[in-house]
Each structure stands twice: as structure tokens, then as C-alpha cells.
Amino acid sequence: MTDKNGFFDLSKSTLTRRTALKGLAAGAGLGLAPGFVRYSQAQSSAPIKIGFQSHRTGIGAAYGRWYEKTTAAAVKAINAAGGINGRQVEVIIEDDGTDPGRGAEVVGKFATQHKTDIVFGTLFSHVVIGSAPAAGENKMPYFVVSEGHHVASTKLNRYVFQPGITDVKSQIESMAPWIAANAGKKVTQIFPDFAFGYDHRDYLPPALKAQGADVIAQIAIPPTESSFTKFFPQIPAETEVIYHVMVGPAVLTFVKELGEFYGPNRPQLFGFIDSLEATDINSPGLEFLDGSHFWEGSPRYAQADDSVAQKAYRTAVGIDDNGAAVGDPKDVSTAAHMFGCWETLYVVKKAMEDAGYKGPEDRAKLVEATEALTEFAEGPEHPQGPKTFNGKIHQCFGIQNISKVEGGKLKVVHKTKIEDGLYEAEGDYTTQAL
């Protein structure tokens, strides 16, 4: 391993007899303390261990699989470039079953059995919230890739970070100006009647109001529903935009029945791609979405103006121009979210290097170093785009993509600015004790 500081570069120093004697004395001293030497060597050469809390089974399995692929690609790239602080990175994976109870156990297992340096990679909000107490109690830095507002709400604890993907509140606030200016000013929301839907229910109306548009109806669909036609008569006739964020297997039925209800004369449609992550946009029944718009964190389809970094990222992760696995066009990725794993690992790398991180005893330093970060420039480490980071709320802010379904593909038609998604901090984690 090459040393960036040139510590072993003898050409930069003059070896005197006094220095040599000091060195010999120090060497003899260390020789009498074999345990210490072993410890030092282990510290300097042992890999950085990252505990990956993966949704391998349960409702998040499709996301979990692609999060693992992205993580493996990022770790390969980091290791090929010399690792973190000159140490290779090793990822240890535990399945949390997308269950908050098991999630907390897994965090405990990473802390007390695997003794990882950090825990990373959780997506589903309820698993993050369920696992956060275990992370705080074990003083284990916990880097999630969830997009939930729970981290930025400052209701978790000082050890939980979300530096690689924006949160849903920021995403919604970024979308509002474009919706009001381009899609329509009278918006009807259709959302699942649970927490994911409530974020949209609560944050969209004020964001649209600020842009001179209104939410004229909010239709909450109970999570047990499998047929949606009976809800559609509640959509006011004057609706100009239907804003939909349905998720889960029922989304195909939802779109099909919406198409049957409206036929060709439908209002504008705007949705979040969360509904269709890992689902082929050309699946039977989704034809009705042609011409509609979606939020995407990172574009699923390769775009004409993709940066060199974006192209390199896609190649490294192994997704083709359609956002599917190279060699398996049916294996559609979760492109809009999984870039967060890549970027989070590079944030961890930067924070560990800033902190001079050596091992678990430096976890508090790592927390403070992460909180001190402010900006991430677009490039190979952040291929989705530039970001700012608010260390007080442990949350990053970045650009968002609005894509239109055209000819069976998603084409980016608008990129928001970072400022579009900024909001007032709701608290300050840095006031909590470490």
C-alpha cells in the first residue's frame, strides 16, 4: 500500500546517528511489547469493516438486491483506489428481513459480534426507525439510504446519518415549482393510507401553495385495497393534475384501472418512480402512463447528456442503457435510489479520512467529521449530482430529475436546483451528547 504522506519516503529526510539510535531504542521497546505490536499492526492493516443491513427478504427484497450490487461495485472501486486510510474495505451482510425488530437485532449483531466500524445501507423507513435506538445505544455510526424524512426530522439520534440520498420532504418541495408551472394548478393527490403516503399528503399542499397552485382533493387508499375503481369518482372534475404515489404490487392494477376510468382524456399525471422501481415501464397495463411524468432520484435510462461520471457509475454497477442488469433486460434496477449506496460509501470514506479514523474507538470522531462536511462535488464519487450537507440534521440536499414517459422510456425533461429542496432545520443533532 502506498502512503500518501510519504512517511516511508527516506529520500525526504536525513538519517543521522542520533536518529538511528533513537529508532533502535524505540524498536527494542516495541519488541518487548509484542501484544502492542500485534495490536498496532492489526489496526493499521486490518480492513475497515462495514456492516450492511440488507433487505434480502421481505417486502424490500428487490431494493435490497440492487443495494447490494451497488455497494459491491462501490467497495470494489474504493479498494482498487487504495481503500480508506490505506486500509481495504470489507462488507459484512446481514439480512434484516425488512423487519424493524430484526433490524435492531442486526445492528446489535454488527456492534457486538461482527464488531464492524459502521452500519450502513438500510432503506425502509420502519426498519431505520426501529434500528436507530440500537445504533444510538451501541454508539454505532449508522448511515442509511432511506430517503425518509425521519433522519432530518431530528427525532432519531446523533449516530444516524443520511448523506447519500435526499429525503422525501426535500424531493416534494423540489417538485412543486415544476408541477405548478408545467402540469397544472389544480392537483388531486392519490396516496397509500400509511406513512409513505402521509409524507406526500403533508408536504405537497404547502409546497404547491407557495407556487400558486392548490391540492383540491386528497384520496387516501387503505393499504388492504387491491381494486381502486371505486375511489376514482372522488377525483374532482376540475382536476388538472393527478399526483400519485401508490406503491407495492397493486400499482399495476392501480394504473390499469385509472386508464380504464379515464380513457384517452385524462388529466396530467405526475408520480414518484418509487411505485415502479424494479418494474419494467413497458409492462402490460402501464401503457396508460405514456406521456406522464415521474420524479427520479437518478435516471433509470441512460440520457444523452449523461456525465462521464454517470456513465462510469452505470458501468461499474452493471446496468445497461435501459436501467436493467447487463445481460438480463428483465432484471430492472432500482436506479432512482440505489446510487445513494455508492455516494454514501464515498461520504464515509471522506469522513473517515478527515477524522483519521483508526478503529471503533474513533467512532465519535467519525460522527463529528461527518457533521463537519458541507458539500459533495459532482464527479466519480457523486455521479448523481452535486450535494450540500447539513451536519445539524445529518441530511444531504441535491438535485432531482423529472422524467417523461416517451416511447417506453423515461426521458429527463427537467433537473431541479439544490436550493429548490432546502427547508428550515427542525432541530440540531449536534447538541446531543456523543
Partner 1 sequence: MSEASPAKAYSLHLGVIALLFVLSFLLPEYYHGLLARIMVLAVFAMGYNMLFGYVGLLSLGHAMFFAAGLYGAGLAVIQLGWGVPLAFLGGIACGAVLALLIGLLALRTTGVAFMIVTMMFAQVFYLLILYFATWTGGDQGMVVPQPARVLSFGATSLELTNPTVRYMTALGLFSIVLLVTSAIVRSRYGRVLVAIRENEERTKMLGYDTFSNKLAAVVISGTICAASGAAYALLFGYIGSSFASVQYSILPLLWVLLGGAATTLGPLIGTLFMYYVIDITSGYTSAYLLIVGIALILLVLFFPKGILGSIRQRWLGWLP
- Residues that bind partner 1 in the complex, under the rule CB under 8 A: 56-57, 94-95, 99-101, 104-105, 108-109, 112-113, 125-126, 129-130, 132-134, 136-137, 148, 150, 155-157, 193-196, 198, 222-224
Q: How far apart are CA 98 and CA 280, in angstroms?
A: 23
CB of 185 to partner 1, least distance (A): 28
CA distances 130 to 98, 115, 146, 430, Å, are 11, 20, 13, 21
- Of 59 and 309, which has the nearer Cβ to partner 1? 59
Q: How far apart are CA 57 and CA 89, in angstroms?
A: 25
- Of 108 and 380, which has the nearer Cβ to partner 1? 108
CB of 222 to partner 1, least distance (A): 8
User: Which residue's C-alpha cell is 432500482?
Assistant: 334
- Of 108 and 379, which has the nearer Cβ to partner 1? 108
CB of 256 to partner 1, least distance (A): 25
CB neighbour burial string for 190-216, b if at least 16 within 10 angstroms, e if fewer: bbbeeebbebbbebbbebbeeeebebb
CB of 156 to partner 1, least distance (A): 6
Residues 6+ apart with CB under 8 A from 284: none
- Of 136 and 318, which has the nearer Cβ to partner 1? 136
CB of 345 to partner 1, least distance (A): 22
Q: How far apart are CA 62 and CA 98, in angstroms?
A: 11
Q: How far apart are CA 242 and CA 47, in angstroms?
A: 50
- Of 47 and 108, which has the nearer Cβ to partner 1? 108
CB of 244 to partner 1, least distance (A): 19
CB neighbour burial string for 120-149, b if at least 16 within 10 angstroms, e if fewer: bbbbbbbbbbbbbebbbebebbbbbbbbbb
CB of 106 to partner 1, least distance (A): 9
User: Which residue's C-alpha cell is 464488531?
Assistant: 115
Q: How far apart are CA 89 and CA 238, in angstroms?
A: 56
- Of 162 and 292, which has the nearer Cβ to partner 1? 162
Give the residue from 281, 230, 218, 304 showing the smallest Cα distance to 260: 230
- Of 77 and 123, which has the nearer Cβ to partner 1? 123
